[in-house]
Amino acid sequence: MSTHIDTHPRTIDVALGTRSYPVWIGPGLLADHARWRTALRGRHALVISNTTVAPLYLDRVAEGLDGLHWSSFQLDDGETHKTFANVGRALEALAQLGATRDACVVALGGGVVGDLAGFSAACWMRGIDFIQMPTTLLAMVDSSVGGKTGVNLPAGKNLVGAFHQPRAVVADTSTLATLPDREYRAGLAEVVKGAAIGDPTFFAWLEQHAAALSARDEAPLIEAIARKVSYKAGVVARDETEQGERALLNLGHTFGHALETAGKYSLLLHGEGVAIGMLLAAQLSERLGLSEAADSARLHRLLAAVGLPTAIPVGLDPQQLLALMRLDKKNLAGTLRLILWRGIGRAEIVGGVDEKAVLAVLEAACR
């Protein structure tokens, strides 16, 4: 008996008035040129990708750019290349192309490419169009949606950037066929995060489908992507520039970014840092009397079930992690402001968090 899989693309709108845009999700979308060409307005396009993704997928995009003046700029692969220096190189490529204000940047790759390409588009002539073509699970469910763009500094993650929304998101799920397993699992962390923050029904669904998602079964995978994108699109529509609710999407990130940076981006992937970071946030929340151990245990079980790390790697220093957390963008008035957890489906922003409690959690986890 064959299982019917609906391959019709899902469309989720990010509702931002005149700047609203579609997120198309489904197999084969990169080759659906007629669909995404509608998002290109001018005569110039710069495809920003990297040296891993371009050889795999640039051809499919190039066919759709026929008739335009276009070129590509390829980053070296990895988080360490999400830098100002590479934004400079991307801007030089736009200049070389002769890109006018109606030019479009096309981001073809994972979150590193998407964040850097989006920031480059935000900078060129004070802001031109860009289209996200995410090729990792993480980029499909998170980084391509919502318009946070930027780069890292040696001092910390994403310290420089701009809110700049794409014109469209083309999430071609066929590209996940070549994504390494570790990267795929890292993407699941951002799916679990969405459910942990705001959707207990989705969390229970993920618990039921953890094995199928680990095995990359197409139907539940597309369902999980669409549910996470819908959830994020709703948050972004209500609070585009993170004046309030949007900060909840940062659950686990103050810890996670510190872990990524301390590991010099070679120890942990972003999604892995977020998985461990969410568990640390849960432990801190328990310590502060905000959540129950039973909920932390459920979160731990789900993350482990989809193959994510749940402990801080050996060798990281709690004091260094705390110092990195002090540079987080959510902090105010020199005090830590964290997303704490109230149990499955509930999170809140808490300011003035006691550093001693944070350090105690870090020390216990690094032991």
Ligand X SMILES: O=C(O)C(=O)C[C@@H](O)[C@H](O)[C@H](O)COP(=O)(O)O
Ligand Y SMILES: NC(=O)c1ccc[n+]([C@@H]2O[C@H](COP(=O)([O-])OP(=O)(O)OC[C@H]3O[C@@H](n4cnc5c(N)ncnc54)[C@H](O)[C@@H]3O)[C@@H](O)[C@H]2O)c1
Q: Is 152 helix (H, G, I), strand (E, B) or coil?
A: strand
Within 10 A of 158 (CB to CB), how many other CB atoms are there?
18
Contact map string, positions 194 to 233, toward ligand X, x by CB under 6 A: ----------------------------------------
Residue 117 binds ligand Y, judged by CB under 6 A: no
* Minimum gap (Å) between residue 164 Cβ and ligand Y: 10
Please say whether the beta carbons of 157 and 261 come within 8 A.
Answer: yes
Both tokens of 126, joined, read 């004070």
* Minimum gap (Å) between residue 287 Cβ and ligand Y: 27
For the question of residue 250 being annotated catalytic, the response is yes
Residue 164 binds ligand X, judged by CB under 6 A: no
The CA distance from 293 to 296, in Å, is 5
C-alpha distance from residue 304 to each of 29, 180, 195, 234, 286 (Å): 32, 18, 16, 28, 20
330 labeled part of a ligand binding site: no
The CA distance from 170 to 25, in Å, is 7
- Footprint on residues 96-155 left by ligand X (CB under 6 A): 142, 146, 148
Closest to 194 measured CA to CA, from 184, 183, 205: 205
The residue within the footprint of ligand Y, chosen from 23, 25, 52, 130 (CB under 6 A), is 52
Residue 116 binds ligand Y, judged by CB under 6 A: no
The single residue of 10, 167, 193, 246 carrying the catalytic annotation is 246
> ∠ at Cα 235 (328, 13), nearest 5°?
130
Residue 53 binds ligand Y, judged by CB under 6 A: yes
* Minimum gap (Å) between residue 13 Cβ and ligand Y: 18
The neighbouring-strand residues paired with 348 are 340
Residue 138 binds ligand Y, judged by CB under 6 A: yes
For the question of residue 232 being annotated catalytic, the response is yes
176 labeled part of a ligand binding site: yes
End-to-end CA distance of the chain: 52
The CA distance from 96 to 93, in Å, is 5
Please say whether the beta carbons of 62 and 33 come within 8 A.
Answer: no
> Which amino acid, 284?
L
329 is in the binding site of which of ligand Y, ligand X, none (Cβ under 5 to 8 A by kind)? ligand X
Binders of ligand Y: how many residues, by CB under 6 A?
A: 31
For the question of residue 257 being annotated catalytic, the response is yes
CB hemisphere CA count around 266 (13 angstroms): 1
- Footprint on residues 172-201 left by ligand X (CB under 6 A): 190
4 labeled part of a ligand binding site: no
236 labeled part of a ligand binding site: no
The CA distance from 278 to 221, in Å, is 22
Q: Select 140 or 290, whichever has its Cβ closest to ligand Y.
A: 140
Which positions lie near ligand Y, rule CB under 6 A?
50, 52-53, 56, 77, 79, 82, 109-113, 115, 135-136, 138-139, 142-143, 146, 148, 157-158, 175, 178-179, 183, 186, 269-271
Enumerate the known binding-site residues.
77-82, 111-115, 135-136, 148, 157, 175-178, 190, 253, 270
Which positions lie near ligand X, rule CB under 6 A?
142, 146, 148, 158, 190, 242, 246, 249-250, 253, 329
